[in-house]
Structure 1
Amino acid sequence: MTLPRIAVDAMGGDEGVQTMVSGAALARRRHDKFKFLLVGDESRIKAALDAHPNMRGASEILHCEDVVGGDEKPTQALRRAKTTSMGLAVGAVKAGDAGAAVSAGNTGALMAMSKLALRTMPGIDRPALAALLPTLGDNDVIMLDLGANTECDARNLVQFAVMGAAYSRIVTGREEPRVRLLNIGTEELKGTEELQQAASTLRAATGLSLSFDGFIEADKINRGTCDVVVTDGFSGNIALKAIEGAARFVTDLLRSAFTSSLRSKFGFLVSRPATELLRHHLDPNNHNGAVFLGLNGVVVKSHGSATAAGVANAVDVAARLLENELTQRITADLAELGGTRLRTNGAEGEAA
């Protein structure tokens, strides 16, 4: 099988072209059959490629000097989609010149460009932003939506569940990922009308490659008891930032505690293997790569501050989704859901 190449926005992100190219080079060691379209300033990309011989024959450069600013409004960025490195990377997916795009640039601009250029898949009303979060279990948990849609109805939540489960099957290898809806309690009567409707539809659906396990509270997201957590973008973004803040709090607290006295420093040396494992587990670079699910093409968002290792993980996500044909999996699952009836906002319609 000839794999489609991956377009990398080499100008996006805080760390510059060198980090983006180095990350792509690291990822290619794991996926050596992939080729790359590197979008950005040609002279800077060529200089970065000098340190990575494995990328030279596998890369084509699309020259572009214009960059989307980190604080630029999505509407402004859209007007320059055909001249910026981000817009050209996404445009390559639309034109069929690449199967996936990876960018560490402005999240709002990337979502806006991706939605306009690629459109949503048949049966999907809105794309969702999904990311992997660490857990105490054997596998990471996928959470969506993380900010693409501040308000969602039951139909959207059901579609997010289908997309998240398809993604989870690729990441975890589970044939029927455990899916839960984020709620203020686990009791069946808790939550909004939208959550109740979505839960009812998922319980009644047959033939889907997922196991719906009801509701989950925010403090259980990282326990490893489920594979996919589904929520609206407003709640999901708040939950994600709370989790990231708690992780930083724990690491900063440990750092402060271990440097407070001579005895504490000695204790740090004794417990260093455990603290290093904790640091590795909580490092966002090791879970980098959020995906815009539901589009006619794969788009992956890297943290703006990601290291080369973090960028490599984002590119790795794009490669795995292409290798495992994510969009085809979602299409097949939506077909299974097609016969389920769903009442939304007082009107009865198809769930997919």
Structure 2
Amino acid sequence: MTKPVTLSLDVMGGDRGPDMVLPGAEIALVRCPSIRFILFGDEARIAPLLATRPKLAAASEVRHCDVAVRMDDKPSQALRNGRWRSSMWRAIEAVKTGEAAAAISAGNTGALMAMAKFCLRTMEGIERPAIAAIWPTIRGESIVLDVGATIGADANQLADFAILGGAMARAVLGVERPTIGLLNVGVEEVKGLEEVKAAARLLRESAPATISYHGFVEGDDVGSGTVDVVVTEGFAGNIALKTAEGTARQIGAYLKAAMNRSLMSRLGYLLAKRAFDQLREKMDPRTANGGVFLGLNGLVIKSHGGTDAEGFASAVELAFDMARYDLQVKIADDIRRFRADRERLAEPAAAVAP
């Protein structure tokens, strides 16, 4: 039997709060019966919903919180008003104290990152955290980071992201030695920003044996699955993520309109329904819901605020998988190796310096 994994949930986060979070937790529990939950939020709203879900209630502990971070709160405001008392803060704090293996919230992204950084702090050797997303590709899945935490990352930070993403690929995708690509405007070594080219040199010279540096990749390589991990800074990564989500919805709308255009097209849809269902499943953003905050002393998962119960369940299952496969241990080990290799490479240069 799988060892129980305890997860803390910010029940008040997201557009619908408990009405979405609790059904999502129940779906995840059915698929992963060894999950246990600590539910942080307004007990008066949680209790009636739990009463109709006895299996979820039996696997959960409710802890009342007076404050819920609003979706439009500024990070500084949320940190100032929500520390110690909010459902978001206390869900993160449960990870810090070791009561929970990971925290999941569909709440305000900026507030969640601010609280997570303040409460958990960054890991030794990591300057800034990153948000990593699992990306569906033609070949299966890949990991893209950063998708919004660090705007304008320098070479060292991009190299750190490569290590973080590689550890996540080993834990979640099951790839023994994941390939890493730096997102760039071309694959030629002379192209791109200086920070990106400098990061490429760092990875070529001192990447740990646990990853394989592929080189530069372009935008169309992301969906092709050219590499297991695509590394970029948060500004470009967030635009890429939102563009991909919008494109998926656009294609879905085009297909729906085409299938309803005439009697023959509707008949064609019925004949090919199984294939269309498979396409819809692959394009469904709910199946890849959950941005992982990497580089912190603890696991925090950000679910889309507007997702439904199925989407939230995907975020919960991602947290469960990452906790089971000791992602934090893998990250810490890879970072130590990377730092040691860089220091060894720098020693000869220091020895001959005047």
**TM-score by structure 2 length?**
0.92
Q: Report the alpha carbon displacement of residue 32 of structure 1 after superposing the two structures with TM.
A: 2.5
The 1-side partners of 2:104 and 2:282 are apart by 23
Give 1:119's aligned residue: 121
2:220 is equivalent to residue 219 of structure 1? yes
SS at match of 1:140: strand
The one-letter code matched in structure 1 to 2:64 is: H
With over 3 angstroms needed to count, the CA separation of the structure-2 counterparts of 1:206 and 1:258, relative to structure 1, is: closer
- Specify the SS of the correspondent of 2:340: coil
CA distance in 2 between counterparts of 1:339 and 1:96 reads 29
The secondary structure found in structure 2 opposite 1:341 is helix
Q: Work out the CA distance in 2 between the residues paired with 1:230 and 1:46.
A: 43
CA distances 1:221-277 after superposition (whole Å, capped 9, x unpaired): 011221110000011011111111111111111111111222222222222222211
What SS class does the counterpart of residue 160 from structure 1 fall into? helix
Give the distance between the partners of 2:331 and 2:218, measured in 1 at CA.
26
Which letter maps to 1:127?
P
Could you tell which deviates more after superposition, 91-100 or 74-83?
Answer: 91-100
Work out which of the residue numbers 95, 98, 101 in structure 2 matches 1:99: 101
Structure 1 residue matching 2:293: 3-state secondary structure: strand
Aligned equivalents of 2:248, 2:123: Cα separation in 1:
35
Query: Is 1:191 matched with 2:192?
Result: yes
Alignment of 1:231-310 (within 5 A): 231-310=232-311
- 8 Å Cα contact 2:207-2:213 kept in structure 1: no
Aligned structure 1 segments of 4 or more residues deviating by more than 3 angstroms? 1-4
Shift of 1:38: 0.2
- Cα distance in 2 for partners of 1:63, 1:292 equals 25
Q: Distance in 1 between matches of 2:116 and 2:68?
A: 16
* Alignment-derived partner of residue 312 in structure 1: 313
Q: Is the 8 A contact 1:11 1:17 kept in 2?
A: yes
Residue aligned with 1:229, SS: strand
Q: How far is 1:4 from its partner?
A: 5.2
Q: Distance in 1 between matches of 2:119 and 2:3?
A: 24
Measured in 2, the distance between the counterparts of 1:307 and 1:98 equals 24
CA distance in structure 1 between the partners assigned to 2:342 and 2:322 by the alignment = 30
What residue number does 2:346 align with? none
| CA deviation map 1:28-49 (0-9, x unaligned) | 2333233211011112222222
Provide the rounded CA distance (Å) in 1 between the counterparts of 2:10 and 2:98.
Answer: 16
Distance 1:83 1:206, change over 3 A: closer
Q: CA 1:307 to 1:270, structure 2 compared with 1: closer, same or farther past 3 Å?
A: same
Comparing 296-305 with 270-279, greater Cα deviation is found at 270-279
- Contact in 2 for aligned 1:102/1:301 (Cα 8 Å): yes
Moved more, 38-47 or 122-131: 38-47
Q: Which amino acid aligns with 2:152?
A: E
Distance 2:35 2:222 in 1: 34
Q: Secondary structure at the match of 1:214?
A: strand
Higher helix fraction (1 or 2): 2
Equivalent position to 2:136, from 134, 151, 165: 134
Q: Which sections of structure 2, spanning at least 5 residues, go unmatched? A: 344-348
Q: 1:161 to 1:207 in 2, by over 3 A?
A: closer
Give runs of aligned pairs for residues 31-110 of structure 1, distance below 5 A.
31-79=32-80, 80-110=82-112
Aligned-residue offset at 1:136: 0.7
- How many angstroms apart in 2 are the aligned matches of 1:208 and 1:162? 11
Aligned to 1:176, the other structure's residue is in SS state: coil
SS at match of 2:237: helix
Counterpart secondary structure, 2:9: strand
Q: TM-score, normalised by structure 1?
A: 0.93
Q: 1:248 to 1:206 in 2, by over 3 A?
A: closer
Cα distance between partner residues in 2 of 1:2 and 1:47: 29
| Contact 2:5-2:36 within 8 A present in 1 as well | yes
Contact 2:172 2:325 in 1 (8 A): no
Amino acid at match of 2:17: G
CA distance in structure 1 between the partners assigned to 2:49 and 2:211 by the alignment? 43
Deviates more, 1:26-35 or 1:95-104: 26-35
Identity percentage of aligned residues: 46
**Which amino acid is 1:271 matched to?**
A
Contact 1:208 1:337 in 2 (8 A): no
Code of the residue aligned with 1:267 in structure 2: it is G
Match of 2:174 in 1: 173
Distance 1:294 1:2 in 2: 25
Q: Partners of 1:219 and 1:51 in 2: how far apart?
A: 46
Unmatched 5+ stretches in structure 1: 343-347
User: How large is the RMSD of aligned CA atoms in angstroms?
Assistant: 1.8
> What number of residue pairs does the alignment pair up?
343
Q: Work out whether residues 102 and 319 of structure 2, in 8 Å CA contact, stay in contact via their aligned partners in 1.
A: yes
Decide whether the 8 Å contact of 1:134 with 1:140 is kept in 2. Answer: yes
The aligned counterpart of 1:345 is: none
Which residue matches 2:159? 158
Q: Which moved more, 1:243-252 or 1:260-269?
A: 260-269
Distance in 1 separating the partners of 2:122 and 2:337: 18
Q: In structure 2, what is the Cα distance between the partners aligned to 1:144 and 1:206?
A: 17
